[in-house]
Amino acid sequence: MCFEMIEKFKGVFPALLTPFDTEGNVNFNSLKKLVESLLSQGVSGFYVDGSTGEAFLLSMEERKAVIKAVAEYNQGRGVLIAQVGCISTKDAIELAKAAEESGYDAISSVAPFYYKFSFAQIKKYYFDIVDAVRIPMIIYNIPVFSGVNLSVEQMGEFLKDPRFIGVKHTSSDYFAMRQFKTAFPDKVMFNGFDETFLAGLSMGAEAAIGSTYNFMAPSFIRILELFHSGNIKEAAALQERVDRVITVLCKYGVMAGCKTILTSMGIPMGVVRAPFTDLTDAQKTELLNAVRENLG
């Protein structure tokens, strides 16, 4: 992958939330407001239909509709990555084609999960997807939820192919990420855990995809700037402040909490889709207090 491609995918990418209306349907008006707001804050682009977007609780038609809508709202201003992961290869290919038709810059996919597929089956899944489209793939490495922990050697089976341009590494195994980057320096490493954003940068990540960037994007953009300017002390202090908010989110529910915060900021997000549950009034108060105390 050329230098220009790495530059294109650098920066902070919110893993977009999916807002719902009072009837539980996707709220496209709020989705548009969220996209516009984040672009005005300076994000590099969007990661669409990911875990944060409750993708696995959406129907195929909803997932495709969100992919199409975000492309329309974005209007070429930010880099677009569509998470197309499914247990079914057929469904993943259908979503990948929808992303390609909508002009996305790349697709991404979690490994097929639940059935404990063999590595040979997982490898075929990924190659079947990239064989079906003409846009590149970013491996979504999230062992805690997928149950799939790809070794450095296994990851290399993908990264040696030019169609696989990087890894979204949602894991605290930063040694592994450093090994991926050392073996494939021309691939992009996306940090996946917001609470260890600074750690990921120190271990080779050029970019990051995260849930809390939906409402804390300026803080993470600033951490990135401070890191590259060599001001690690100030970057660490800001990481500590955002982590105080993330601590409360993890305590009560990340998606529900993020939606609560954005709603309080004037973008109605609705509730999370069952079996997730919304926050209680007391939990909302604690969370919003944490935001005010640490973000101003």
> Residues with catalytic annotation?
140, 168
Angle at 210 between CA 296 and CA 107, to 5 degrees: 150
Distance CA 57, CA 67 (A): 15
215 neighbors 258 (Cβ within 8 angstroms): yes
Query: What H or E segment, with its residue span, contains residue 283?
Result: helix 281-295
Query: 3-class DSSP state for residue 13?
Result: strand
37 neighbors 73 (Cβ within 8 angstroms): no
141 neighbors 155 (Cβ within 8 angstroms): yes
- Where are any strands of DSSP class E within the chain? 11-14, 45-48, 79-83, 106-110, 137-141, 164-169, 188-191, 207-210
> What order of strands is seen across the sheet that includes strand 11-14?
11-14, 207-210, 188-191, 164-169, 137-141, 106-110, 79-83, 45-48
18 neighbors 66 (Cβ within 8 angstroms): yes
Can you list the alpha helix ranges (DSSP code H) found in 9-118?
28-40, 60-74, 89-101
